[in-house]
Amino acid sequence: MAQEGSSYYDSPYMVEFYNLKWGKPSMPDMDIYWKIFTDAVTQHREAAPDKPFTVLDVGTGAGRVPLGLLQRAIAASFDTRNIQMIGLDNAQHMLDLAAKLESKTNNNTPPVTWVLGNALALDELPTLLPLSDKHITIDLLIFAFNSVCHMERDGELAQFFLQVSKVLTPGTGRACIGLADWFLLNPEEDMKVRAESEELPPPEDVQSVDFPGIRYHTTMNRMDCQGKLCVCGEDVQVFKQLDDGKDKEIEIHRVRHSLRWFTKPEFSTAIEAAGLRIVEVSKVDESEETAGYDDNIYILQRVALPFRASSVRSSTKQQDIVTSGAKNRMDELSKSVALNAGILSAELRDKGLPSLDDESFPVSFPLLSPEGSRARFELISAALDIVRLASGPSEFLGNLSLQGFELNTIGTMIKLGVPQQIPLDGSVSLRSLAQYAQVEEQLFTRLVRYSIAVGFLSEKTPGQISHNSASSVCVRDQNTTDSILSNLNVANPASVKMVEALKLNPTGTDASKTPLSVAFAQSLDGAEKLGTMWDFLRDHPEEEVRFHNSMAATHSTSIYSCEHVARGFDWNQVKSIVDVGGSEGHVSMAIVNSYPHIKSTVQDIGEVVASSRQQLPAQYNQTIEFIEHDFFQPQSVQADAYILRFILHNWSDEEAKRIIGGLLPVLKPGVRVLIIEHVVPEKGTVPLYVERIVRNMDVTMFGLLAGRERTAQDYASILSSVDGRLKLKGSTCPDGSVVTILEFIVE
């Protein structure tokens, strides 16, 4: 009696049949994948020559794509060193066949890592790989030949693209999705009419290659369509030729599988919502294997932004897919808000947190999952764009120009001590607060209600003022309160003196002629002269205290959390680190918590070192030490890695070179220098919210210190000008962070 089965993957015979039918390496889509692969590898080697280039073929089957790329590399004498090939499939028989086929090919190429896994759980890939680097991201992801149509359940398409976004290298990574026109519908089109217009193919015989005497007989017998699903039926009989020349049926497989059609807006919206965008659509030349499919390859980039149609180019008539649903920007933004607000709300509920506007909501936004972090950034970005567009140009600029009154009205409440007079779990009358502030009640009421309108304080009962989450921070956290006051008292006056400073200092590189210098010229030693921010803080000790407290407040927020440093780099590569200008050692503590084998030396000026030694928790006594050091002076402590976090952005390029020059005595081959800063992104490669933070800090550095935020290439130029052996190996901006880790290594 013949063995029975119900899928293409039930037996070694069936996977061979499937591969013979669908896995031909000569299929013309390989021409496109080959070009994308070689171009991407070449660009990658120019930008990060020491970092492996990683290819992931999802639904690899018998390895048609990775093995095909490697075979072409041999034929073209293309250098395959430092290339990692990964083939992922959910059928072990398929992977066994892939490994068997690989063993028959030329061995002068990197081995392919075959992984049993799920396309809807790509973020689990690091746990499945026998690789030492568990911080792997994918430089080129391929999901070929309509495999996306197997995402048959509602929501699976969106889930898949979210998974792609999680593993794809931001900015430079590319995902290639093969999808035929036949599977894409116009919104009003009836899929059933299209599918049932197709005739079933005639029965076919396929001769085995690997199994002598084996023949496959296939009959397509069903194509039922309901909703967007088409259920296909195919019977595959496996015959073995006996010694007498007769065929014996040894297996029969009654395969039933579903294929899903997608509307064009549904497809593009799922891509957009995942923080991806279509950068190109390439047409696959029609061949015998692809006849009738009119196949296309959609090339995607992770940008962590809602899709903008204006940034897309298309090489085919598929432009309508890219632009459909993108004609009305507000529609796009509303979809992004709905999707990402739902993701964020669900995660906050799972964490058991109170309402976002509740006075008991945490002072610092909690650390979220990568998906939750992306949703939060994209939600804020969409909201910012909605406000701008819905306001219209004139109102938007008018409101923007009056935000100084918003900030200073809230500042007035804080300086008058109003938040401290309101209990966290109660309310106080407007009259009582006005009397405390010694302000006429009617005027005071106007100021309070303006504060409420812009998001500070609450009036749940008329005339009774209570806290909301923002105002309660001024009672619960002194560092954050000092941060607000520091911005009001120092940064705000400096911001209105940019024109005067630019006339004195057109290059913005003189730290004694900044907007801050101009704003406080009268306050330096009582004379009309300019000075640096450090001069100002020295002469105003109360502002110096607030400034340092504001730094502590900033770095306690989730976007600046030291946990991102611990998670964003594989610290197993080093045993000892020096945290240059490391203040109280919070970065070192976060690293040691996760990597207890590391010994850290934290360096800073004398008074900081003295206080930090006293405050260091006892649990770090064996792993963290503090040493006084001026980073403009030669470094004397030898270590595997040197961390400079928020150091270089305070200084001009020439001063930054001096700081790096101080490391020269310890820069032996293999030593790493980790620059951790706001890295200025290319336009459209990060969410608008993140870009605004980075560019705000860039202008703030100019306004206060004549410093600047830089691109990755700017940092590479600075370090290589000091020591040509310092090469940029890679960069990482962990999800939820606005700060990038740049890894330089001494060659």
pLDDT in tens, 434-462: 999 999 999 999 999 999 999 999 999 99
- Please identify which of the residues 44, 629, 649, 678 carries the catalytic annotation: 649
SS3 324: coil
309 has a pLDDT exceeding 70: no
**Distance in angstroms (rounded) separating the CA atoms of residues 426 and 463:** 13
395 has a pLDDT exceeding 80: yes
Q: Provide the β-strand partners of residue 580.
A: 603, 644
Q: What percent of the chain is predicted at pLDDT more than 70?
A: 90
How does pLDDT run across 61-104, given as a tens digit for each residue?
A: 889 999 999 999 999 999 999 999 999 999 898 899 899 889 88
How does pLDDT run across 470-514, given as a tens digit for each residue?
A: 999 999 999 999 999 999 999 999 999 999 999 999 999 999 999
pLDDT given for residue 322 in this prediction = 42
Confidence at 559, pLDDT banded by 50, 70, 90: very high
Backbone CA torsion sign across 198, 204, 207, 210:
positive
**34 backbone dihedrals φ, ψ, rounded to 5°:** -65, -45
How does pLDDT run across 212-226, given as a tens digit for each residue?
A: 999 999 988 766 776
Residue type, 232: C
**Distance in angstroms (rounded) separating the CA atoms of residues 733 and 716:** 17
**Distance in angstroms (rounded) separating the CA atoms of residues 271 and 308:** 11
- In this structure, what token pair is assigned to residue 725? 């052996």
Residue type, 571: W
**278 backbone dihedrals φ, ψ, rounded to 5°:** -85, 120
Q: What angle do CA 422, 423, 425 make, to 5 degrees?
A: 130
Q: What is the dihedral of CA 719, 722, 727, 731, to 10 degrees?
A: -10
**703 backbone dihedrals φ, ψ, rounded to 5°:** -70, -30
Across residues 575-600, what is the average pLDDT?
A: 96
**Distance in angstroms (rounded) separating the CA atoms of residues 155 and 431:** 54
pLDDT given for residue 688 in this prediction = 92
Query: Pairing mode, if any, of strands 140-143 and 262-263?
Result: unpaired
Contact status, residue 535 vs residue 706, Cβ threshold 8 Å: no
Residue type, 320: D
Tokens 């605004």 locate to 692
Residue type, 426: G
Active site residue 649: yes
Average pLDDT score, the chain: 87
Q: Provide the β-strand partners of residue 226.
A: 229
738 has a pLDDT exceeding 80: yes
476 burial via Cβ count (<10 Å: 0-12, 13-18, 19+): middle
**Distance in angstroms (rounded) separating the CA atoms of residues 274 and 306:** 8
Q: What is the pTM of this model?
A: 0.61
Contact status, residue 113 vs residue 88, Cβ threshold 8 Å: no
**Distance in angstroms (rounded) separating the CA atoms of residues 119 and 127:** 14
Across residues 174-181, what is the average pLDDT?
A: 91
pLDDT given for residue 320 in this prediction = 43
Contact status, residue 429 vs residue 464, Cβ threshold 8 Å: yes
pLDDT given for residue 315 in this prediction = 37
Nearest to 369 by CA among 386, 385, 348, 388: 348
Nearest to 745 by CA among 720, 732, 726, 721: 726
288 has a pLDDT exceeding 60: no
458 burial via Cβ count (<10 Å: 0-12, 13-18, 19+): buried
pLDDT given for residue 9 in this prediction = 77
Across residues 389-413, what is the average pLDDT?
A: 93
- In this structure, what token pair is assigned to residue 36? 């994308």
Please indicate whether residue 426 or residue 527 has the higher confidence score (pLDDT): 426
Please indicate whether residue 524 or residue 20 has the higher confidence score (pLDDT): 20
Across residues 400-422, what is the average pLDDT?
A: 95
Confidence at 15, pLDDT banded by 50, 70, 90: confident
DSSP 262: E
pLDDT given for residue 191 in this prediction = 57
Contact status, residue 531 vs residue 512, Cβ threshold 8 Å: yes
The domains found in the chain, sorted by start residue, are 3-9+190-262 (no CATH), 12-184+264-323 (3.40.50.150), 329-398 (no CATH), 399-552 (1.10.10.10), 555-746 (3.40.50.150)
How does pLDDT run across 601-612, given as a tens digit for each residue?
A: 999 999 999 999
How does pLDDT run across 616-675, given as a tens digit for each residue?
A: 999 999 999 999 999 999 999 999 999 999 999 999 999 999 999 999 999 999 999 999
Confidence at 262, pLDDT banded by 50, 70, 90: confident
Q: What percent of the chain is predicted at pLDDT more than 90?
A: 57
Contact status, residue 95 vs residue 57, Cβ threshold 8 Å: no
| Residue partners of 207: CB distance under 8 A and separation at least 6 | 214, 215, 216
Query: What string of DSSP letters covers 604-646?
Result: E-HHHHHHHHHHS-GGGTTTEEEEE--TTSPP----SEEEEES
Nearest to 469 by CA among 363, 359, 354: 359
How does pLDDT run across 312-353, given as a tens digit for each residue?
A: 333 333 344 444 433 468 888 888 888 888 888 888 888 888
- In this structure, what token pair is assigned to residue 323? 């632009």
**Distance in angstroms (rounded) separating the CA atoms of residues 313 and 309:** 9
- Which of 154-158, 249-253, 475-479, 687-691 has the lowest average pLDDT? 154-158
